[in-house]
Structure 1
Amino acid sequence: MEGDAETRVLLSNENHEEAPPLPRSMVVSLYLGYFLARWGARTWEFSVALYMIYLWPNSLFLTAMYGAVESGSTAIFGPVVGQMIDGMSYVKVLRIWLVTQNLSFIVAGGSIVALLLVPDLKSHNFHLFATLIVLTNLSGALGVLSTLAGTILVERDWVVVMSDGHPPEVLTNMNAVIRSIDLSSKLMSPVITGMIVSFVSLEASAITFAAWATVTVWIEYWLFNAVYKGVPAIVQSDERRRLRMSQPQREKTDITSPLLQKTGEDGTRSKRSGNMRIFEKISESSFIGAWRNYLGQEIVLPGIALALLFFTVLSYGTLMTATLEWQGIPTYIIGLGRGVSASIGLAATVVYPIVQSRLSPLRTGLWSFWIQWICLLLCVGSIWAAKQATQSYMLMAGVATSRLGLWMFDLAVIQQMQDLVPEPDRCVVGGVQNSLQAALDLMANLLGIIVSDPQDFWILVLFSFGTTSLAGVLYTVHLYRIRKHIFHLDKLPMLNNRFGS
């Protein structure tokens, strides 16, 4: 089965005429625009946990509530976002993505500034306090949804289109660079934010964030628009999208007209029940259609395994960041720890192309996953550490070292999706994948609401390790189903000599 998939990829590459070299200036513009967009998103991702734990000390409630709203909106609307992207021109997607993302972050940053400038607002005017919290949650969630649109457009579509017709390593290297840009933002933005918070103030960090979103939206649009106009393959792909959008409409019109006539004639004879109509409308909805498309893909098990890794607190997300802050770890240390974690993740973008060229995306995913799992054992061990400071640093070390395997696994699964998902389905499948990831992230945040006492964080650690283990089992089953074996025992020298003698 994997051989068939690899054959299809090779035939697909052979059937395309060799594409002209990619203009270096366009590739640089793509990377720079993506960096600016990801910096803003990663800064908000880190900062919001600090804001929420400050506004409601000694509880993870506000932090987990924000995470639940953000993840829930992505889980519900993720497939719809994917289908919307697939039904729009690239230029329209760019405008909606960049304007909505940055405007939402400006509103969220402004709300946070208002909350921080009046520290006792919760006790004096709780209704205004709650209104600003709701506004922060909704605008932040909208910003993340629009960020999802940009992620799907760049990572799942443009990178594949730009590398089409080139040797396979071009796509592998572009994936690695895109991921390294994201991880560089994850590395540096928390360090800088942590420095501003520690040595200036929380208010200054929120104002800086809002100002960044205001300025960069114009630069990002200029850069991405230049890429669109400067790469013929993207323009041609956009034309194919427009053609696909027009065809279903014409077919629907041709089919519906006679049906309407027949319904008019036989309307009194055949009337279906209201429940049946509701069921049909639901089954024909874009949400259900997107999920049906996703579940029919060959890469569904790797996709589910990757999504399960989002049901975790074992990352420098909002819950772990807020817990470390509660445990007394200085903000700049948390920022540095997140930076070290991202640095190790950056190493994965260098190691992955080397390993993948010697194995395959499928087998690289297997080895990288279980490397990650072994590193996370240190987080489980931190539960039984005697001192709280030791627990915190063991937790941070386990999470940081596991990022090498995690991001290699992420790259392996993404490349399998790029290779095996047909072009018309890429945006839809990408939307559902992000929706599934957000749904499991939502479950982690809901668990954080239930277990909101930071002293009980160990319960969340065990849950997270359990879902990670389940993800590993699913991916291993997928590999065995395709390869009919897990290890190449005959390629291990010691075993080969033993069985050969």
Structure 2
Amino acid sequence: MEETETRVFLSSEQHQEEEEPLLPRSMVISLYLGYFLARWGARTWEFSVALYMIYLWPNSLFLTAMYGAVESGSTAIFGPIVGQMIDGMSYVKVLRLWLVTQNLSFIVAGGSVIALLLVPDLKSQNFPVFATLVVLTNLSGAIGVLSTLAGTILIERDWVVVMSEGHSPAVLTRMNSVIRGIDLSSKLLSPVITGLIISFVSLEASAVTFAAWATITVWIEYWLFISVYNGVPAILQSDERRSLRLSSQTDTASQYYVPLLTDENTQSRSGNMRIIERISESSFVNAWRNYLNQDIVLPGVALALLFFTVLSFGTLMTATLEWKGIPTYIIGIGRGISAGVGLTATVVYPLLLFRLSPLRTGLWSFWSQWTCLLVCVGSIWVEKEKIASYMLMAGVAASRLGLWMFDLAVIQQMQDLVPESDRCVVGGVQNSLQAALDLMANLLGIIVSNPKDFWILTLISFATVSLAGVLYTVHLYRIRKHIFHLEKIPLLNNFFIRNYST
């Protein structure tokens, strides 16, 4: 039966006929469409920037790694602050800040790249201008990514949870899967299209297309998200609760405020103590303190460790493949296949939740990813360069199924266990931690900048992934007091019945 609105029924046997609150179908579609437009621009830049940098400075990963370091470093430093800013602003202000800043930054970054590409010999002819444009590209790209972080926290960590409140848990699972599917679809298709433009037209054409996309879509995105804001009562009510909480906190703080330092004790305290007190009460430290007190800190750290890797179709691996002679459109197709494999995670994950909890789904997903990455490690010892490159791409692509199911499992655990008042702050710190580890990977790329030595980065990445697996497994054991249900394995079932039956 087709209806204009999505109806979700209670699963309780006593209330099978009772309907849950209506979730307007048009609003859900508007949310998904606006998020797709935003993620397409971000994923296009993520893929393209590596190719621009390796073109501007051939035979070195230096510029590529430097951009990654600037981007990751800015997110690592300002991520918690972004989370707290979002928590202290109305939804409409967050939307405006996110969309305007993101798209304006991408327009500036695209314009800088166009200027660099139009003068191929600029580095040798006028190095100061070349350096200025590279710095402008790095800074505007970093600001664009910070703005994207604000949108990610707002949609993935807040609005999706708010819209699914009052419905069965399956609704939140389905919305998480669709949101992740949108992101992965953008990651799948945008590199393919960008790779075709670069291969069959030019790098300059791809940069112009990117800047034009950011200019046009900002207006459409804002209209779609404002429609969702005004059309979903739960979001309006959540915004009202947020405003009341903020005004209450302000009143309480002003009512009970006592100066930390009076004239007398100011003189008795050393300057170092005053600095320590100010740091300990800063927004940055408070955000981290909040995060570390959450029950999901170990899964969050395990997820973040997966960003300390070059075993993904990120900037370093993309630039290395380009240096090894793999055609750009093949890299784009490989990245698309990788995202396609990850896209299946959004279908498989809800099916697994019918049989397993998010906690145990994360365990099986993680170690399946780890197994696939063994192919990447094995490629190090393959002598033929092309075969080794395709093994590397195949291993990374195959691992995306487990990776994205693990990502979904950890996100759902955060949504279930983190209080509403802490969601944005915890989301900001989580993204900051991920960016910090991504920064470390890019700094390694600066240190090991010769593409011939990519095998070193591969081994370090695999070791970090292994550490993440150990942390998550320890967390599961602490919660469940066991890792596997050995009694459910057919070959061992009789053993448990014979030895442990009463």
Give the Cα–Cα distance (whole angstroms) in 2 for the partners of residues 268 and 380 of structure 1: 60
Partner of 1:496: 493
Deviations along 1:468-494, one digit per CA (max 9) or x if unpaired, are 000000000000000000000111111
Provide the secondary structure at the position in 1 that maps to 2:449.
coil
Give the Cα–Cα distance (whole angstroms) in 1 for the partners of residues 266 and 359 of structure 2: 56
Partner of 1:105: 106
The answer to whether the 8 Å contact 1:29/1:226 transfers is: yes
Against the structure 1 CA distance between its residues 334 and 269, is the aligned structure 2 distance closer, same or farther, given a 3 Å change threshold? closer
TM-score by length of 2: 0.94
The structural deviation recorded for 1:31 is: 0.1
Partner of 1:420: 417
Report the residue type matching 2:101 in the other structure: T
Give the Cα–Cα distance (whole angstroms) in 2 for the partners of residues 263 and 142 of structure 1: 37
Against the structure 1 CA distance between its residues 263 and 70, is the aligned structure 2 distance closer, same or farther, given a 3 Å change threshold? closer
Give the Cα–Cα distance (whole angstroms) in 2 for the partners of residues 460 and 270 of structure 1: 52
Give percent identity, aligned residues only: 81
Residue 436 (str. 1) matches residue 437 (str. 2):
no
Report the residue type matching 2:81 in the other structure: V
Aligned counterpart for 1:284 among listed residues 281, 285, 298:
281
Residue 445 (str. 1) matches residue 442 (str. 2):
yes
Provide the secondary structure at the position in 1 that maps to 2:256.
helix
Partner of 1:90: 91
- Structure 2 gap segments, 5+ residues each: 1-10
After TM superposition, the structure 1 stretch with the greater mean CA deviation from structure 2, 273-282 or 205-214, is: 273-282
The structural deviation recorded for 1:326 is: 0.2
Give the Cα–Cα distance (whole angstroms) in 2 for the partners of residues 33 and 305 of structure 1: 30
Residue 323 (str. 1) matches residue 320 (str. 2):
yes
- Give matches, 1:92-491, under 5 Å: 92-256=93-257, 259=258, 267=264, 271-491=268-488
Deviations along 1:148-194, one digit per CA (max 9) or x if unpaired, are 00000000000000000100000000000000000000000000000
Against the structure 1 CA distance between its residues 268 and 426, is the aligned structure 2 distance closer, same or farther, given a 3 Å change threshold? closer
The structural deviation recorded for 1:268 is: 7.1
Report the residue type matching 1:235 in the other structure: L
Give the Cα–Cα distance (whole angstroms) in 2 for the partners of residues 167 and 253 of structure 1: 41
After TM superposition, the structure 1 stretch with the greater mean CA deviation from structure 2, 375-384 or 487-496, is: 487-496
Against the structure 1 CA distance between its residues 268 and 489, is the aligned structure 2 distance closer, same or farther, given a 3 Å change threshold? closer
Give the Cα–Cα distance (whole angstroms) in 2 for the partners of residues 457 and 268 of structure 1: 57
The answer to whether the 8 Å contact 1:71/1:442 transfers is: yes
TM-score by length of 1: 0.95
Residue 76 (str. 1) matches residue 73 (str. 2):
no
Against the structure 1 CA distance between its residues 254 and 19, is the aligned structure 2 distance closer, same or farther, given a 3 Å change threshold? farther
The structural deviation recorded for 1:253 is: 1.1
The answer to whether the 8 Å contact 1:306/1:471 transfers is: yes
The structural deviation recorded for 1:338 is: 0.3
Give the Cα–Cα distance (whole angstroms) in 2 for the partners of residues 19 and 191 of structure 1: 41
The structural deviation recorded for 1:247 is: 1.2
Deviations along 1:312-362, one digit per CA (max 9) or x if unpaired, are 000000000000000000000000000000000000000000001210000
The structural deviation recorded for 1:270 is: 7.0
Partner of 2:47: 46
Give the Cα–Cα distance (whole angstroms) in 1 for the partners of residues 189 and 267 of structure 2: 65
Provide the secondary structure at the position in 2 that maps to 1:358.
coil
Give the Cα–Cα distance (whole angstroms) in 1 for the partners of residues 166 and 49 of structure 2: 42
Partner of 2:30: 29
Q: CA RMSD in A?
A: 1.5
Provide the aligned length of Structure 1 versus Structure 2.
483
Deviations along 1:117-166, one digit per CA (max 9) or x if unpaired, are 00000000000000000000000000000000000000000000000010
Report the residue type matching 1:466 in the other structure: A
Give the Cα–Cα distance (whole angstroms) in 1 for the partners of residues 34 and 497 of structure 2: 56
